[in-house]
Structure formats: C-alpha cells, structure tokens
Amino acid sequence: MNTGKVYLVGAGPGDPKLITVRGLQCLKECDVVVYDRLASPRLLQHVKPGTELIYVGKLPDRHTMKQEEINQLLVDLALAGKTVTRLKGGDPTIFGRVGEEAELLYDNGITFDIVPGITSAIAVPAYAGIPVTHRDHASSLSIVTGHESPDKLDKSIHWDKVTNATGTLIFLMGVAKIGYIADQLIRHGKPKHTPVALIRWGTRIEQKTIVGTLETIEAIVKAANFQPPAVIVVGDVVLQRDKLRWYESKPLFGMRVLVTRARAQASELADRIEDLGGEPCEFPVIETREPSEPEELEALRTHLEAAESYQWLMFTSVNGVIYFFNFLRRFNIDVRRFHGAKIVAVGPKTAEALMDRGLTVEELPVKFHAESLLESLEGKLLAGEKALLPRGDLARDVLPSELRRWGVEPVEIDVYETVIATFQDELALEWIREGSIGMITFTSSSTVTNLLELLRRRGFEDPVKLLAGIPIASIGPITSKTIIDAGLQLTVEAEASTIDSLLEAIINYNEKRRM
C-alpha cells in the first residue's frame, strides 16, 4: 500500500471565510480530516462525501486526545494510505505544536505540507477594531503564550525584557492568568493605566470584548465571568477600538440564522447574512429534482412540443425557469417556437432568471405571489387563450383555478419535484436542540412542513414545541399562513416576498432586540 500524505493546515481564527485558498483545497481533496476545537465546524461542509472526520479537540478541563496520540494518529492514517488534512485553529506554527506533529511524520518517512493560516494574534484584535500596530501608538508587537502556570510563565517569559520590548503585547490563551500577567507587566515598568482588551471567540458571532487597564482588568474579567478562549491585547492600540469596531457594529452581529431553503439556493441568503455580521446555519430541508416516471416525461415532451399553441408562458419560481430550459435542451426544442407567447413572472428573481436566458417579461406583479400576478393580468387575457405553467409538483392551485374562471386554458406541467432533503449538518441539529439559533428563515411553505417532518424523523416527537422559543421569519403571507397553521409562532414577515425584504425584516427585529 502506498503511503499517504498529511497537510498541516491553519484554519484561521474562527470565521470560516478566513481560511486560505490553499487550506480550503486541502479540505476538499483529503480522505480524512483531523480537527480541533478552535477550527470552525462550518469548514467541514466543504469536504467531499465519505470523508472521515476525527475530532481531537482540547477543552480547558479535559483533553479528547493527548498531543502524542494525535501525532501518532497522523502517522497511522498516512501509513494506511490516506490523504490527511490536520486542521488546526489559527496558524499551525504559532503555539500550534505543528513542529511536534511534523517531526514525527518526518521520522516515519511521511510527506507533509505546512499550510499557514491567519493567526488569532492579529485577526481577533482586527475584528474587535484594534489594529495591532499603528503609526502613532505601536510600530512593533510581541506574541506571547499565557497558557502556562505562573512558575512556567516566569521560566518561559523574561518579563523584564518583554514588558517594554515592543509597542503592543499579545497574549494567547491567558484569561485565567490575567491578574498575574498584569501584575508582572506593572512590576516591570508598564504604567498601570496601560489599556488592555480581552476578546473572546474573536471573528465569530459569539465574539465579546472587554476593555480596561492593567490596574483594573482582573476585576473586570471576574465581574463579567469572562471565560476562555480569548486573545489579550496590551498597549495604546486598544484605544483605536472606539472608532474602529466595525464587526460588532454590523446589523446582524451576534445572530445565528437557520437557512432552510434548498442547498442550491441557500448560498445567496447565507452570503448576505454573513455580510451583515450574522452566522448562517445552512440546514436545507428541501431538494428539487426532475420527474423520473416515464409517463410524466412523455407528458412533458407532448406539452412542450405544442410550443406554438400557447399565448402565455407563466413562471412562478426560479426553479420553474431552470427546469423548463433543462427540458427544452433534453427534448431538443428551440425556445423560439414559443414566439407567440407573452411571458409573465412572479418576482424579480424569476424575471432575472429569464433575462439571463435572453427573455424579458411582459408583467411583473407588485407583490410577488400568484394573487398579485392575477390582479396585474386581469382584463389582459382573452377567453379561449392557452397558458403554459411550468411549475413544481407542490405549486398552489390559485393561478390555474382563476385562469379557468376567466376562460383561459391553463396547461400545468410539473418540471420539478420537491422532496425532503437527505443531508443536514449535525451541528445545526445540535444548535436547534440547544436553542442556539437566533432566527429561523422560511422561504416557502414546503420549507415549513419539511423542517417539521425532518425533525420528527430525527426523533423529536413534538418539533413545534422544540422550535417554540426560536424567532421565525417568513418571506411572505403564503408562507406565514403555513407557519401559523402548523402551530408555530411567526415573528417577522417580509414586506415584499424577496430575500432583500426578508433580510430587512430580520435586521429591524435584531435592532429592536438590542435596545
């Protein structure tokens, strides 16, 4: 058996987007990920199916696996022919013990790469609005471990040299020793009024920052019951925080938002949440797929082959557009054969999907649901006309029913099916169980019913009760009705049935909650 390879990768300080391009590539290509507590669990979403995940993280009161055992584990996995990514928080070369892991790999003849990461020593202060250097305050910095006991600290740190060696001092893992660290710095010449900041879980939505001076910081830490992990910054650069605290000022900072839409569509909403300072928790409860039964496919072909017979093409979703064109391609039907049909769409995203394919819409309703579309079309359709409706199998009957009442023949074709998604992140399920979700977003009625059904399948007898304390955001009145009918408590509803409007409603809620 060929020997494998090990990538010793720095995951960055917490925000999953701070991993390097090279580090992300290693994650995507490996057979096994060995990861610790300080690496964002959301990074594991990037691994390929079947990748083995091994947690070896350390907690303050216990070690899941001793360092020597981790070193040997990497060797054993590589000797078994595996490509291994060892994912470590921050940068692996800064108090990451990568040297010990790499040395044993070398001794066993195993090839390895060290992939640097963004260290928490600079990233965490930056996310708290504290640049570690500044032309007016500090032109140099020192990075010191604060994790050892006081007697070990005194042996490893030359306080008389470190205290005034640089403008900024960064202590990693030193919360429990903050009093001792402050006393030593004062004793060796730092003024008592020197500013100090502690940033806990920096670059994450849980980020919390406290500020004091060397004289006051221990009492402040105790009063706040401030717990590790945290980065300690000592120096005048801390004063920059008042003006530069950009991350904590974002409108969704501190909020974890459950995104229930299909994985293929979730990225836009997730990215927007992240840009606004929140943490998107992707938990897709629906998947879409093409109909597979031969009789369904034959019926689709027949209706699409009758392209010249339609006076109207009515699209009610982006998925309807996507799957419609997929079937035109499959059946080799030229879209120009629909030249006699006027095109209408429900919602700007659906219109945009059509525009991307070179088609403009005749009508776009004021509100983005079928009822509003009907209002905008009233008096414009003629009895005897024929309308093609490419939709999903769960589409409501409002549109075709009203068209029939007007004397228009609706031809409904199910170009896609909506089913319960088969894969969800276990961490997201844990957050739901713990009540660690700040908001659940529903963007369709099927996301509501499927989330409840999925939770039942996962062993929760009463999912409505489980979700009772979690705020819920709806994209519009149709989805809101499903939420209420299911027994859930609606918190906010988008004014217009769009992602922009949904996010605006969530932002307004979060601002009121903070007051």
Active site residues: 36, 58, 173
- Report in angstroms the alpha-carbon separations of 243 from 21, 54, 130, 204, 468: 31, 42, 9, 20, 39
**Cβ atoms of 232 and 121 closer than 8 Å:** no
CA distance 405 to 417: 27
Six-digit token string for 480: 């809101």
CA distance 283 to 324: 27
| The pairing of beta strand 230-234 with beta strand 195-200 | antiparallel
**Cβ atoms of 95 and 88 closer than 8 Å:** no
**Cβ atoms of 197 and 128 closer than 8 Å:** yes
CA distance 81 to 215: 55
CA distance 179 to 316: 63
CA distance 361 to 334: 18
Q: How many CA atoms lie less than 13 Å away from 239 in the CB half-sphere?
A: 9
Q: Which of 120, 56, 119 has its CA nearest to residue 84?
A: 56
**Cβ atoms of 283 and 425 closer than 8 Å:** yes
Strands (E), 120-194: 141-145, 168-172
Residues 438-463 as b/e (b if ≥16 CB within 10 A, e otherwise) read bbbbbbbbbbbbbbbebbeeeebeeb
CA distance 20 to 1: 31
CA distance 104 to 454: 45
